[in-house]
Amino acid sequence: MPGKVSPDELLAHVFDRTGADADETILQGPANGEDAAAIDWPGGDLVVSSDPISLAASQVGSLGVYVACNDIAASGADPRWLTVVILLPDESVPIETITTDLDAAASKVGASIVGGHSEYVDQLTRPLVSLTAMGAAAEFIPTGGASPGDRVIVTKAAGIEGTAVLAADFGAELDIEDTETVCDRAASFLDEISVVPDARVVREFATAMHDPTEGGVAAGLVELARASGVRLDVDADAIPVREETAELCAAAGVDPLRIFGSGALLATVPSESVTDCLAELAAAGIEAESIGTVREPAADAGPALEFGDETITEPVQDDLYPLWEAADASDEA
C-alpha cells in the first residue's frame, strides 16, 4: 500500500540510524509523530523539516511550500528559509511555472528560498519537488507535549486538501448535483493549505501542535496521542466539515476525517486558556473549535484516540489511496 512508512518500521530501521551521536544542541530528533527537528540555536530554537510533493506543475510549487512550512509553523516557529530540489520528467514541464509558484508561496509565508538543486529525470512521469524548511522559534512546541486536562482544538475544517484532491481527480465521475460549481469551490481550498497564520495565534497557548496530512484529522489525532503518550477523548461530530467536503466524500464513499488534512491545525491547550485561544483565532478571522479533552491512558492500554464508541490506537490509512488504486487498475484493464 502507498503511504507513510509504519511506526514499527521507523522504530526498527530509522530512528536509531542517525549518524553521529546526538549532542546537547539537539532538542528534538527523529521520533514517532514529530514532523520537525529542533536544534538549540543562539537566535532561538532552530526548527527543520523536509517534505516531498509530486503533482501537476501548476500546483506542485505552492503546495510544496505550504506543506513544508506547515511543519515548521506547527512547531512554534516562523518559516524563514527554504531549500528546494526540483526533479522534472522532461522539458515539456515548464520549470518557470513551478518557480513562479514557489516564489509567490514563499513570499506569502515570509520565507526566503536560499538554495537547492534542479535536474531532468526521465524515469519520472510528473514533477517531484522536495523542500526543506527552516525557522526559528522562541520556544519549540512538539507534537508530544499534550498533558492530561488539556483541551483539543482544530482550526478551519477537516479534509481541506483532500477535498481539493477529490474534486480534481474524481469530481467528474461522482454523482453530485451541480458538479462544476462544487468542484470549483473545492479547488479553491488549495489556497487555504497554509497553517502559518493559525499557528502564530495558537502557539501562544499550545502545549502541543500538529499538522494533519495523510490520513486526515483522524490520523493526526492518533499521531498526537501516540507522541504524547495520552488518550484523546474527541467528539467526532464537533469537528468542522464543510459542505463541499461532505458532499464529495459522500459521493466517493470516503470519510472526511480520513482524507488528506493539510489546512487544519490540531493543538492541545490548557483548559483555562482555551476560551482566550479561540477568541484570538476568531479575531484573526480563523475558524476553530474545541473538540475534545486530553486524558491519562487507561491502565491496561496505551495511547489512543477515543472517537465515541471507536478506539483507535494504530496509524490511520488515508481513504483516498484505494480510490487511486482502483483507478489505476481500471486504466490497466
Tens digit of each residue's pLDDT (9 = 90 or more) over 125-154: 889 999 999 998 988 999 999 999 999 999
**Is residue 308's pLDDT more than 60?**
yes
Reported as a single tens digit per residue, the pLDDT across 44-101 is 788 999 999 887 667 889 999 999 999 999 999 999 898 899 999 888 888 888 899 9
Count of beta carbons in the 10 Å neighbourhood of residue 130: 18
How far is 210 from 75, CA to CA, in rounded Å? 8
The answer for 178, left when phi > 0, alpha when psi is -120 to 50, beta otherwise, is left
For the chain, the C-alpha Rg in angstroms (whole number) is: 19
How far is 57 from 53, CA to CA, in rounded Å? 11
**Is residue 226's pLDDT more than 80?**
yes
For residues 209-231, give the mean pLDDT: 96
Residue 57 near residue 97, CB atoms below 8 Å: yes
Q: What is the average pLDDT score of the chain?
A: 89
CATH classification (class only), 7-137: alpha beta
**Is residue 261's pLDDT more than 60?**
yes
Q: Which residues contact 174 (CB under 8 A, 6 or more apart)?
A: 166, 248, 251, 252
| The CATH homologous superfamily of the domain defined by 150-329 | PurM-like C-terminal domain (3.90.650.10)
Q: What pLDDT is attached to residue 1?
A: 47
169: helix, coil or strand?
A: helix
**Is residue 176's pLDDT more than 60?**
yes
**Is residue 28's pLDDT more than 50?**
yes
Reported as a single tens digit per residue, the pLDDT across 276-299 is 999 999 999 999 999 999 999 987
Which is more confident, 262 or 14? 262
Cell matching residue 127: 514533477
Domain ranges of the chain: 7-137, 150-329
Cell matching residue 59: 500546483
For residues 25-51, give the mean pLDDT: 74
Within its chain, how far is the Cα of 139 from the centroid? Answer: 21
Show the DSSP H helices in 203-319 as ranges: 216-228, 243-252, 274-283
**Is residue 304's pLDDT more than 50?**
yes
